[in-house]
Amino acid sequence: MENKLLILLISLFTFGFTSAAGIMKKEGLTEKEQKIVMISAFTADGNLEKLNKALNEGLDAGLTVNEIKEVLVHLYAYSGFPRSLNGLATFMEVLKDREARGIKDQDGRNSTPVPKDRDSVKYGTDVQTELVGMPVTGEIYSFAPDIDEYLKGHLFGDIFGRDILDYRTREIVTISALTSMNGVNPQLAGHFNIGMNTGITKEEIEEIIVIFKEKINRKQADNAEKVFESVRK
């Protein structure tokens, strides 16, 4: 009888501890988001060999074909057409190889068609204001108003306006790309703030930096860490 009671008490204690551990489980980047960090970084950096591996891992983690295509298209706004096109070409090779090996990847849904009467500049201005937290003005936009129109109309209106990726995911892509690039610390700092406005936590940004340290590029991670530290002050 005493043994049975002891076993019952141990079972209840173990259950309670396990349940508490489940409640206290640390939130962070999902496995898919971790793969997006690596896909974005290697695309922006032009490391196609490592990108090939990251793309395979992304598909294995459950990212759809259309989600990855959208990541690679989104990146042209930050790393340029050559990197984006090379990324897409590499992705095509990956899909052909996987198909030859009998792997069937999910295409996933397409982006909702954009209303024909949408004013991209007006819509993009609203999106930019929401992401930044205030209307965006500055001397550089007065000096070159065309760049202001392109940013609002095309980047925030046409690209961010596509709903296949949400704002949070697009900022993970953007932060990862900028972290892998040299000479863009002001933009990286800005997108750390924008990313947090979309719901990315400070701990998740730190997780992105850790991924860079362990799997991408330590020097770039150290730079991002310093930039993020200045943002947090």
Which domains can be identified in the chain, with CATH numbers? 31-112+162-232 (1.20.1290.10), 114-161 (no CATH)
Instruction: Tell me the per-residue pLDDT of 31-83, one tens digit each, with 9 for 90 and over.
Output: 999 999 999 999 999 999 999 999 999 999 999 999 999 999 999 999 999 99
**Nearest to residue 44, comparing CAs of 68, 75, 71?**
75
Instruction: Tell me the per-residue pLDDT of 171-227, one tens digit each, with 9 for 90 and over.
Output: 999 999 999 999 999 999 999 999 999 999 999 999 999 999 999 999 999 999 999
Contact 219, 178 (CB under 8 A): no
Instruction: Tell me the per-residue pLDDT of 16-41, one tens digit each, with 9 for 90 and over.
Output: 433 333 333 457 999 999 999 999 99
Alpha-carbon gap, residue 151 to 141, rounded angstroms: 10
Burial class (CB in 10 A: 0-12, 13-18, 19+), 11: exposed
Alpha-carbon gap, residue 135 to 137, rounded angstroms: 6
Cα three-residue angle 183-176-144, rounded to 5 degrees: 50
DSSP for residue 27: P
